[in-house]
Amino acid sequence: MSEATAILPEVDISVPTKKSLHLGSRFLKALCWVAGFVAIGILLLIVAYILINGVPEFFYRDEQGALQFKSSLFAVKYSSRNLSMLPAIINTLTMTLLSLLVSVPLGVGGGIYLAEYAKPGSKLVKAIRVTAVTLAGIPSIIYALFGMLVFVVTLKMGISMLSGALTLGTMTLPLILRQTEESLLSVPMSYREGSFGLGAGKLRTTVRIVLPVAMPGILAAVLLSIGRISGETAALIFTSGTGTSIAGIADSGRTLAVHLFKLQEEGRAVGASFAVAVVLLIIVVLMNALSSYIARKLTKKG
Amino acid sequence: MQHRKNVSEGLMRGLFLASACVCIFAVGVICYFLFANGLPFFAEYSVWDFITGTEWAPTRGIFGILPMIVGSFLVTFGALLLGAPIGVLTAILMARFAAKPVVKIMKPAIALLAGIPSVVYGFFGLKLLVPFTRNTLGGNGLSMFVASILLAIMILPTIIQTSEAAINAVPNSYYEGSLAMGATHESSVFRAIVPAAKSGIVSGIVLGIGRAIGETTAILMVAGNQARMPTGILSGVRTLTVNVLLEMGYAADLHRESLIATGVVLFVIVMAINFLFSFINRRRVMQ
């Protein structure tokens, strides 16, 4: 009895008349369904609008009226006539790879330290946690200023893919760090005990036994990061810039998202913009689907 | 052999520790460079005039960012007005009313909503919402109104995911106790479970505010970006974030410093909101 009152301090137990109780709550429940439909409806609207307007942009009709693929959209060199998005696609891949080269080793290493080595509750661990949360909450325009001031100007890397990648690497670091830590912590203690029991050291246990089990969780975070990197604009405009060709590490090059932004800003080529939006949307859907597929597999196993 | 093993153990431990500390280092560097480059501006221009000035005319050396501060808050407020009720109600639906298969479809859909890049949202807003507003409500469509709608959509996933987690974390005994007292399923949800999840829901909304204040690209594409006090929901508006992105490309000298100072103001606001978020969260954990 006393336990029940302890657990239920806030419940309003004055039972209203049946009618009023039904009306109010039923109405709210109906509102819940309305809200749910609105939320899903908005998503469908956005996806459908982009696809319906964008997909036809990949094709054109030739003189005979036959449907042809507009391969000029994927020409190696961008020009204001063909508005090719191939350089931007390749730059997006480069940018993703470079950014992950920064954030994955640091994030996974840091996650390993927090989960396997650190004394929980120590001042250092607290500081790492607080700063990771802070990093995750900083808006991308602040990252843009940071990247510009630190990498472009102070470290003299100039407006280059490298500057952009270091900026985005910092931006995605907290995501990978926290996910790695959580995945490692969810690995049962018995795995470690078993490994120690067989004479393996701390390092071998962590890398060979614990890390592989946590891999799917880490992979899901990496895929989400890929989605974020390929969709980022604000943080890249002043760091990796808007160069239109296939860029090397030291060159300025626009990613797909920046490409869409610039096409829009220049106010031309609505059709090509829709086509770029389609490709961006496909990338994001793919990364999300893969990530949740892996997450689902993970929970099934666990 | 034993010795070499110990060396590599120690080395790797050090490397792991170092990579964990990169977070601290990064925050330090961001703060240092932002403040070191932004604060000198206030030696030449009074902080008070900067924050309360209503005129922004860099070519004449007048830097008042009050319209942008007001703009940021108004757009965010509008986004909350639309996004918070829809988000919280959807979260309640997913946590307590919808059947499992429905939830199984909704969850990835909400995650997808979170994954759509802001430039795509902006593009969608510009091509569909702006002309729609122009034709139905008047004005040129590039407005606070459209920016708020777009932001509301963008913060939906944050609010839904945090609220749903908070509602699911309420012990089942609350619900069972309410049922045992003769309440229906619906009223148990709204009178016992949701109030108990209140602080979690509030923290989700605060997180959404942080997202909305920091959003740049999508707003820039639909808000019109006039650097003056907004006069109504259909008037154009410029936020702090947009001010930086819009002018940083060509700004020099004092103008450039004023933009970094704008970043400092934004940074302080966002940090205050994040602090509020972790404060609410900590209180909730203590409860």
pLDDT, one tens digit per residue, over A53-73 is 999 989 888 888 888 888 888
CB contact under 8 A, B128 and A49: yes
Nearest CA among A228, A215, A250, A245 for reference residue A96: A228
ipTM above 0.95, yes or no: no
Q: Band the pLDDT of A2: cuts 50, 70, 90.
A: very low
Question: According to the model, what pLDDT value does residue B280 have?
Answer: 82
- The residues in B 19-48 lying below 8 A from A, measured between CB atoms, are 19-24, 26-27, 29-30, 33-34, 37
Handedness of CA A194, A195, A201, A204 (dihedral sign): negative
φ, ψ for residue A17, nearest 5 deg: -60, 145
Question: According to the model, what pLDDT value does residue A10 have?
Answer: 57
Of A32, A224, A270, which has the smallest distance from its Cβ to B89's Cβ? A32
- The residues in B 132-151 lying below 8 A from A, measured between CB atoms, are none
Q: State the average pLDDT over residues B179-186.
A: 88
Contact A176, A218 (CB under 8 A): yes
Q: State the average pLDDT over residues A171-198.
A: 93
Query: What residues of A are in contact with residue B265 (Cβ under 8 Å)?
Result: none
pLDDT, tens only, A130-171: 899 899 999 999 999 999 999 999 999 999 999 999 999 999
C-alpha–C-alpha distance, residues B56 and A27, integer Å = 48
For A260, name the nearest residue in chain B, comparing CA atoms only. B119
Of B5, B26, B122, which has the smallest distance from its Cβ to A201's Cβ? B5
Q: Band the pLDDT of A299: cuts 50, 70, 90.
A: low
Q: Does B48 score more than 60 pLDDT?
A: yes
Domain at A83-301, CATH class: mainly alpha
Q: Does B63 score more than 90 pLDDT?
A: yes
Contact B237, B75 (CB under 8 A): yes
Chain A closest-CA separation from residue B55 CA (Å): 23
Domain at B47-286, CATH class: mainly alpha
Residue spans of the domains in chain A: they are 83-301
Q: Band the pLDDT of A16: cuts 50, 70, 90.
A: low
pLDDT, tens only, A204-251: 999 999 999 999 889 989 999 999 999 999 999 999 999 999 999 999
Q: Band the pLDDT of A302: cuts 50, 70, 90.
A: very low
C-alpha–C-alpha distance, residues B248 and B268, integer Å = 19
Chain B closest-CA separation from residue A107 CA (Å): 7
